[in-house]
Structure 1
């Protein structure tokens, strides 16, 4: 695989690459690091947790990110740790099947299948390609200062670091986002929509078991993944299970919050603490699943593999200001953001404030419309699969039982058309029959190729 660095360029166009500070060693931060490893752009990752370890249950990667995994040499490794998606099953609270959603074989149309993977395994794959010395744990961002000379980040342990670009990849409750919004609000530059708190959300408990005996649960013998979604008609709970590689079952339980509960959880704003474990387990332990009760799955899950998260839906208008930029939180969205952001930083012709401002602005312009569409789609799917109102139930019944396959295929095709690739690596051709949005190689990349070709000819 061809990789180009500024040292390959003639002295007239060489420049000192920017030093990028990445707050958060999650999926987005690690993907960005993997891409920057293919350049001479220097970076460091600062993770608030003292121990670098993944949390969460399962992640479904769609074909839009597969070309980038190919470019990075990660695609075959991803296939080794994931299942292609087969079906989605909607069940009632007694785990009785109400409807099936056939995900089909996407190889012919999309060129790739959806990949169901344990979030921990995906995390480990991305982490394995990042030099350990570039990740510094126990560094929680509390504030930062930025001007035309650079950006200085302050951490909770009272240490500081200087760089050229600060990337907030530290999740929904990003310390970078909170400080940026606070400063913009003081200056009267924060949009009104970003000043408002969300009004609804879910509290979730997620995890994944140790391996089960496939003779006890024959479904685990399948080499394809499927997700079972159970929805209660008598409570605000929904829960799901997914079979993963290695005869492991990923599970989650989600409770829709009323306005008072939501306000309390938002104020508390904590991800997990041991004292929160038992009350939630008591609430969900009798819930039925295709693999026994949810309580039995929790018993088969090591405590370090269980996490509690507070989920809220909100689309932010503010993505960047000065030298600071934010990337998404969901796996696919975060990966796409990392790809486009890396392209924009790479394309910089000089390491100046104006060049950085232009690059970060271009990143938002390229990603905004697609991200907004994805947010609306995710919000709609949340109502379909996890909503508890009468309207949500009616909508779920209609879409699951009466939506024509052609309409579903058309919707999927629209999503699959956008597949951002790493513009300074050889582009992957379209593998399927479906149309995809064209992407040009980096102009800087093409100039480098031409210069190198001429240099070779001259020698």
Structure 2
């Protein structure tokens, strides 16, 4: 079965999920247009980890070889005390003797975004388009932007992140009808914040670890505070870093008011330059696992590559309505750990694009049927990924006697095969794009 020949899709959001959706739709021969609110695409964050479960998809799309060149395979995560004492380790390597032998990839997030953006034809993406309304007819859907321009298609995909305008518009309509679940009215939950950065190219003679073919993430924990620092060697002789932990003074941004997009963004209302300085000062006494001071890495980071990130999380119950459907952070915001957030968004996209080839017509009833099937297939795996990411992030971040004891037991005494299973680095199900030739599995050669 194939999709209706005139099928046209509007994607809102030019981040990783929106770009991946566009790339997959191109391969499926489906017309689409991406609308991005920002006037200039600039991805937040500095590094990204991509889970092994999506590598077959990347192979099918012809992206894997280039992505491998710009990344390092994730070898593991080593947890250290502020003074450099090893507290435990999680092995992230897959068993190459199995047919599921892909490795997780660690790379520069801006590099990945630029790479994916180059795959989207220029005429299929328009920036500076802030969506403020969605209207539907029995056969089509139209989005209206703040500049009064409109775009019409058969369905809208909200790929616009944790504070999704599409979700807010959809939820407002459901609230007016009195059918939005109470759980979906509650704000995003977060207990942690962090400042992330990526250094300029460093001297590999000073930091020999930069010459390693794989990436071993080092996590340094403070002794008398909840602040921790993550350090990740990247391609291009750069290091990504993350400083953060719990912040009890943060005020939730999404207060359940879904009447409009509002002016609140994912950077937080309390974000100001001094915040980064204050957070980074907390790690000044930390011992750098690669020599020198951790402040050397922070000071070697251009200001434009420093940003504040709130580690929100929430599993929404409502992923679609009418001709509108959500993907990625817009419907399941996952705490970043082992690349689960980005990877689950990519799996959402693959699942939906596969189902578009099962779509007999563009009638709302047929769209509802595949959207419900999409939710049934993706909601539980996304929840499992969210739960495991949160639990392991807490295991690494939390401090105090009980946290140290739990970390010591899990990291020192849990068998490697079980840690891999819990973190998802061994996964039995490798999703694929059904309308494309199977992955070559060149990694086994």
TM range (shorter): 0.7 to 0.9
| Cα distance in structure 1, aligned partners of 2:441 and 2:157 | 31
| Cα distance in structure 2, aligned partners of 1:106 and 1:207 | 32
Q: Which residue of 2 aligns with 1:124?
A: 114
Q: Which residue of 2 aligns with 1:9?
A: none
| Cα distance in structure 1, aligned partners of 2:163 and 2:64 | 30
| Structure-2 change in CA distance of 1:25 and 1:50 (3 Å) | same
* Native 8 Å contact 1:199 1:262 kept in 2: no
Residue 250 of structure 2 aligns to a residue in which SS? helix
| Cα distance in structure 1, aligned partners of 2:415 and 2:388 | 18
Q: Which residue of 2 aligns with 1:39?
A: 28
Matches within 5 A, 1:401-416: 401-411=412-422, 416=427
| Cα distance in structure 2, aligned partners of 1:148 and 1:223 | 55
Q: Which residue of 2 aligns with 1:151?
A: 141
| Cα distance in structure 1, aligned partners of 2:442 and 2:182 | 43
Question: Are 1:332 and 2:343 an aligned pair?
Answer: yes
Unpaired segments ≥5 residues, structure 2: 256-263, 330-340
239-248 vs 339-348, which deviates more?
Answer: 339-348
| Structure-2 change in CA distance of 1:348 and 1:400 (3 Å) | same
Matches within 5 A, 1:301-320: 301-320=301-320
Match of 1:23 among 1, 12, 15: 12
| Cα distance in structure 1, aligned partners of 2:124 and 2:406 | 48
| Structure-2 change in CA distance of 1:277 and 1:414 (3 Å) | closer
Question: Residue 264 of structure 1: CA displacement?
Answer: 5.0
Runs of 4+ deviating beyond 4 Å: 264-270, 272-275, 412-415, 429-433
| Structure-2 change in CA distance of 1:177 and 1:398 (3 Å) | same
Residue 138 of structure 1 aligns to a residue in which SS? coil
Residue 397 of structure 1 aligns to a residue in which SS? helix
Q: Which residue of 2 aligns with 1:271?
A: 267
Residue 173 of structure 2 aligns to a residue in which SS? helix
| Cα distance in structure 2, aligned partners of 1:5 and 1:404 | 46
| Cα distance in structure 2, aligned partners of 1:157 and 1:170 | 18
| Cα distance in structure 1, aligned partners of 2:427 and 2:152 | 39
* Native 8 Å contact 1:143 1:175 kept in 2: no
Match of 1:262 among 250, 273, 284: 250
Matches within 5 A, 1:149-228: 149-228=139-218
Q: Which residue of 2 aligns with 1:456?
A: none
| Structure-2 change in CA distance of 1:257 and 1:275 (3 Å) | closer
Q: Which residue of 2 aligns with 1:10?
A: none
Unpaired segments ≥5 residues, structure 1: 7-14, 434-459
Residue 225 of structure 2 aligns to a residue in which SS? coil
Question: Residue 42 of structure 1: CA displacement?
Answer: 0.8
Q: Which has the higher helix share?
A: 1
Residue 314 of structure 2 aligns to a residue in which SS? coil
Question: Residue 275 of structure 1: CA displacement?
Answer: 6.8
Residue 411 of structure 1 aligns to a residue in which SS? helix
Residue 262 of structure 1 aligns to a residue in which SS? coil
Question: Residue 266 of structure 1: CA displacement?
Answer: 5.2
Matches within 5 A, 1:346-425: 346-388=357-399, 390-411=401-422, 416-425=427-436
With normalisation by structure 2, the TM-score equals 0.88
* Native 8 Å contact 2:79 2:219 kept in 1: yes
| Structure-2 change in CA distance of 1:140 and 1:387 (3 Å) | farther
| Structure-2 change in CA distance of 1:256 and 1:180 (3 Å) | same
- Structure 1 vs Structure 2 CA RMSD: 2.4
Question: Residue 157 of structure 1: CA displacement?
Answer: 2.5
Compare CA radii of gyration and give the structure with the larger one: 1
